[in-house]
Structure 1
Amino acid sequence: MRSFARLNLKIIAHLLGLLLVVNAGFMFLSALVSYLYKDGVALQVFYAGLLTMVLGATAMLITRNHRKEIKKREGYLIVTFGWLTMSLAGTLPYLFSGAIPGITNAFFETMSGYTTTGASILSDIESIPKGILFWRSITHWIGGMGIIVLAIAILPLLGIGGMQLFSAEAPGPGGDKLHPRITDTAKRLWLIYVAYTLVETLLLKLAGMSLFDAINHSMSTLSTGGFSTKNASVAHWNDQPIIQYIIILFMFVAGTNFVLSYFAFKTKFSKVFKDDEFRWYCLFIGVFAVIATLLIYFKADISLSSIDHAMVWGRLESSFRHGLFQVLTIITTTGFVSADYTLWTPFLSAFFFGLMFLGGSAGSTAGGIKIVRHLIMIKNGILEFKRSLHPNAILPVRYNNKAVEQPIVYNILGFFILYMLSFIMGVLVFSWLGLDFKTALGGAASTLGNVGPALGDLGPVNNYGLLPAAAKWWASFLMLIGRLELFTVLILLTPFFWRNR
């Protein structure tokens, strides 16, 4: 209890209030969209924003005389409770408008949005008011780069340093900084993020999407979220390949380390192409896309009626597009759907299930384990063979031509073990709550990896609405720990976190 008393509770409450104020601003923007489209819920969304604003401003006002110091424990608490607070407040537009009745379904949809999972309980998305659909996409866009990074960019105005928050928000490897001051790093990341979103919106609009659909899909793509404005997701545009290729391009970009984008804009291309993770990311996507393309072409039914010469090339293009799209949407954990991959072949279903554990690049908006962790684990495993033959040799793991410190290797191995234990526990709990084995297996992998579509009853053309209430809360918990990379949340459940230092 003495340890709890030593926490800087005022700074925690102050920053949670700040996050609510930011959240309210986006609700007001959604209310404006609702008003412009005259969908009948503008006032309800505005009231949701007003209540959120009042709660946030009150918290900031009460704690205005806080001690401007954030230590690591405060950082972990702010990140975890920031996500929970934003998710709880984010249910208000759904509840006030009646678009999603019930706190369980509203919280699931909101948590899925902020964690960029893209799992949805909605069965008829196109009947939802446009202002609510816009809010739904906004939750993706905020969560993609991180609510906390947004707050870090504002912290200088409050005279508060943000390094502790950044380490809690991005606890894994790949924490290269663009600028010595973390607040400037956050600003640069957001600038790149916004620029990509605007460019994709323009390209999708020129390719034939409506402006509303283009904006929403751009926010979902760059955040690697996966919420769509159409019941069929991106499959709605299967007859417009250019739209799907644009989304493919930006899924690829969103799954790369945003620091590399900064280097590319500064014309430091050697830093991009010499990056181990980026090269393996490209290699994985290329190899897996070829495998998927060949299997779809020779084994799957992609609804081409004739096999004349022209259609052979059409079938090849369609196979390549769907194969590349599904590989990218799962590796980057975006979760868009261009087809029901569970109907292609049993091998492809198992293949895509395995890709759910790969993840995108560190420093991207993608979820999952991350490619850099896989690389370091594989390199360390290979070195174990050499160490068996040469026990006295010093054989460090090397990444980007630099030796990786042993504590980082241990951290990655510990993360992987904890991730797999969380996955197994996820499957067990889902099974205990009544899901069949295939559905439980896919649901646990998808929610923990923030992927979205899964297997079984939670496949690409289904939704999570069929889950019992307890399973939706459990799925929300898995989405949260997966988005914050396990340690940030799970450390709060350990007794030594609260023990007096």
Structure 2
Amino acid sequence: MNYKMIRFVISWVLKVEGMLMLFPALVGAMYQEKAGFAYLIWGLLCIAAGLILCFRKPSNMEIYSRDGFVCVSLSWVVLGVFGAVPFVITGEIPFYINALFEIVSGFTTTGASILSDVEALSHASLFWRSFSHWIGGMGVLVFILALLPMKGGSVMNLMKAESPGPTVSKFVPRVRGTAKILYQIYLGMTLFTIAALLLSGMKTFDSVTLAMGAAGTGGFAVLNSGCAVYTPLQQWILTIAMIAFGVNFNFYYLMLCKKGKAAISSQEVRAYILIILLAGGVISWNTYPMYHSIGETVRTAFFQVGSIITTTGYSTTDFDLWPELSKCILVMLMFIGACAGSTGGGIKVSRILILLKTVKKELGSIVHPRSIKRIRFDDHPVEHEVLRAINVFLIVYLVIYSFSMLIISIDGFSFETNFTAVAATLNNIGPGLDQVGPTSNFFGYGPVSKLILIFDMLAGRLELFPMLILFYPSTWKKRG
């Protein structure tokens, strides 16, 4: 274990987080709010702590696979632990565990909240909540990788540990170049969303915060009514933006390289769009009697489908009042999630497709025992290691899900509430159903349950294993 390198990476995380806190400090100054001083002071302290930690550059800059997982998991824990402090300093969320829940929900792009009155927060804190979505959407270490001069293998080990999905694609030979391309696409799409919302007549503050939430597929709104008060055009812009950010970023890279045929041929992207169309169509039919017109029904249905499958969590209606069929579809979408390599959470469409192909292969083997067929995805054979990793992922996923359900059930909420609370946090969705539905929040859970749900949010964002490896004894032993 390269402890010095882990310390060096965490020091950079602290410095970057400190610098990012200067943005809400600036927002506070613009609106003449005292809360801005809390972000300024704490941001400077984070930068100072980072500078102290990296007083000496490690002689060995190599990060091995195990080190990469530890670096990523500890970095995200540090992000949450330090990022929650301004909420406490300002007094807007005085209880630290509640503040930690809120900011971890932000960084992991979950959008689950303990707040019943978000409009009571200062503009600085509202901005910090939404900005945390944008930071966590692509991953803070992906940003740092674009800055740090590290060896290719080291950088790839960090990117593998932080990037969502079964595999990580390199767009260009140098991984630092890949990180830069990712952020260029991410920033460009975010600015385009902000511009579209501004042109639609939305207020500047709302446009920026909602666009950052859509980009990171988070779910923190700046109004108590969520997104219900915005115009139909603005809701459609957000719907398209959420769905767009749920697409594998490799798709956009191929389109920029004028390789449209290769981009469109992606099985995952096509399945993702098909699922959205089918789910939106069925829910529109099922909920039509509840709304005034076909246009409102379709807009509301596709907004919620786009919000849930991309794990964004914005809402324009209380879908907890929808018919059981529609609610069942939404819960299924919570587990499916967005595409691998996007900012969305969930199990991922690619994993679902590969699992279905595996089932088809097994059925074929029963009918034709002597046949030998390999599972192919996007015209490439799926390696055994990928299949093994997906199977292990699902087993671990079910274990964490069951354990979390068991622990939080101590608080006495209904099965529907607990089931969707874990689904909403482990899949980084945001709202669930019943007492954690779109018009409710997670405040009622006790401190222990909140810590479990915080772990679920981190585990879901980091694909389980980076968080679990912290509890594996052999992780901390020296190499033999």
Is 2:298 the partner of 1:320? Answer: yes
- How far did 1:472 drift? 1.0
- Report if the CA contact (8 A) 1:68-1:160 is conserved: no
Cα distance change of structure 1 residues 232 and 80 upon mapping to structure 2, 3 Å threshold = same
Alpha carbons of structure 1 residues 83 and 140: separation in structure 2 relative to 1, 3 Å: same
CA gap 1:156/1:40 in 2 versus in 1, 3 angstroms: same
User: Superposition pairs for residues 299-378 of structure 1, below 5 Å?
Assistant: 301-302=290-291, 304=292, 315-378=293-356
Alpha-carbon distance, 1:235 to partner: 1.1
Shift of 1:157: 7.6
Match of 1:51 in 2: 45
Cα distance per residue 1:330-352 (max 9 Å; x no partner):
10000001101111212222221
CA distance in 1, matches of 2:380, 2:111: 37
The structural deviation recorded for 1:74 is 1.1
Choose from 490, 493, 497 the match for 2:468: 490
Change (3 A) 1:60 1:203: same
SS of 1:108's equivalent in the other structure is helix
Residue 159 of structure 1 and its aligned partner are, at CA, apart by 10
Cα distance in 2, alignment partners of residues 160 and 99 from structure 1 = 43
Q: State the AA in 2 paired with 1:403.
A: P
Q: 1: distance between equivalents of 2:368 and 2:388? A: 21
1:325 deviation in Å? 0.8
Q: Output one character per residue of 1:300-353: Cα deviation in whole Å (capped at 9) or x when no partner.
A: x23x3xxxxxxxxxx101110111111111100000011011112122222211
SS of aligned partner of 2:227: helix
Q: How far is 1:93 from its partner? A: 1.6
SS in 2 for 1:334: coil
Query: For residue 438 of structure 2, what is the aligned residue in structure 1?
Result: 460
In 2, Cα distance between equivalents of 1:36 and 1:451: 32
Q: Secondary structure at the match of 1:235?
A: coil
User: C-alpha displacement at 1:411, in angstroms?
Assistant: 1.1
Report 1:236-255 matches (<5 A). 236-237=229-230, 240-255=231-246
Aligned to 1:308: none
Structure 1 residues 439, 171: CA separation in 2 closer, same or farther (over 3 Å shift)? closer
Residue matched to 1:140: 133
What one-letter code is carried by the residue in structure 2 that aligns with 1:437?
Answer: F
Contact 2:300 2:316 in 1 (8 A): yes
How far off its partner does 1:160 sit?
9.1
1: distance between equivalents of 2:152 and 2:315?
A: 44
Give the alignment partner of residue 153 of structure 1, picking from 121, 132, 146.
146
Q: Which piece of structure 1 moves more, 157-166 or 101-110? A: 157-166
Quote the residue 1:86 is aligned against. 79
CA distance in 2, matches of 1:400, 1:8: 38
Segments of structure 1 that go 5 or more residues without pairing to the other structure are: 1-6, 305-314
TM-fit CA distance, 1:429:
1.3
| Distance across 1 between alignment mates of 2:165 and 2:320 | 32
Contact 2:265 2:378 in 1 (8 A): yes
Distance 1:157 1:97, change over 3 A: farther
Instruction: Check the 8 A contact 1:293/1:320 in 2, yes or no.
Output: yes
Equivalence for 1:284: 275
Pick aligned residue for 1:41 from 27, 35, 41: 35
1:126 aligns with 2:119: yes
Q: TM-score, normalising length from structure 1?
A: 0.93
1:146 CA displacement: 0.5
- The partner residue of 1:201 within 184, 194, 199 is 194
- TM superposition shift of 1:285: 0.6
Q: Quick one: distance in 2 between partners of 1:340 and 1:128?
A: 23
Measured in 2, the distance between the counterparts of 1:437 and 1:346 equals: 15
1:125-180 deviation per Cα after TM superposition (whole angstroms, max 9, x unaligned): 11211011111111111100011111111112899941110111126324222111
Q: Which one-letter code corresponds to 1:33 in the other structure?
A: V
User: Contact 2:164–2:461 (CA<8 Å) still a contact in 1?
Assistant: no
CA–CA separation in structure 2 for the residues paired with 1:167 and 1:127: 39
Matched-pair contact (CA < 8 Å) for 2:152–2:175: no
Tell me by how many angstroms 1:43 deviates.
1.4
Q: Distance in 1 between matches of 2:152 and 2:46?
A: 24
Deviation of the 1:199 alpha carbon: 0.7
TM-score (norm 2): 0.97
The residue identity in structure 1 corresponding to 2:358 is N
Distance in 2 (CA, whole Å) between partners of 1:254 and 1:159 is: 27
Distance 1:406 1:188 in 2: 30
1:450 maps onto 2:463 in alignment:
no
Q: How do residues 37-116 of structure 1 correspond to structure 2 at under 5 angstroms?
A: 37-61=31-55, 63-116=56-109
Give me the whole-angstrom Cα distance separating, in 1, the residues matched to 2:295 and 2:58. 62
Question: Is the CA contact 1:177–1:259 (under 8 Å) kept in the aligned structure 2?
Answer: no
| Alignment partners' CA distance in 2, 1:296 and 1:127 | 33
Find out whether 1:260 has 2:251 as its counterpart: yes
Amino acid across the alignment from 1:281: Y
Q: In terms of mean alpha carbon deviation, does 387-396 or 22-31 score higher?
A: 387-396
Q: Aligned letter for 1:379?
A: K
Contact 2:111–2:312 (8 Å) recurs in 1? yes
Amino acid at match of 1:421: V
Matched residue of 1:67: which SS? coil
Contact between 1:13 and 1:60, CA under 8 Å: does it hold in 2?
yes
Match of 1:181 in 2: 174
1:21: which partner in 2? Answer: 15
Matching residue's letter, 2:298: F
Q: Distance in 2 between matches of 1:392 and 1:492?
A: 44
AA of the residue aligned to 1:288:
A
Contact 1:296/1:344 (CA < 8 Å) preserved in 2? Answer: yes
After TM superposition, list the pairs within 5 Å mapping 1:425-440 onto structure 2. 425-440=403-418
Cα deviation, residue 68, structure 1: 1.2
Aligned to 1:312: none
Greater CA drift, 370-379 or 8-17:
8-17
Change in 2 beyond 3 A, CA 1:157/1:427:
closer
Distance change in 2, residues 1:289/1:146 (3 Å): same
Distance across 1 between alignment mates of 2:169 and 2:457: 25
Describe the SS at the equivalent of 2:431.
coil
Kindly state the Cα deviation for residue 100 of structure 1 after the two structures are TM-superposed.
1.0
What SS does structure 1 have at the residue aligned with 2:219?
coil
Alignment CA distance shift 1:285-1:66 (3 Å) = same
Output the CA distance in 2 between the equivalents of 1:175 and 1:261.
Answer: 15
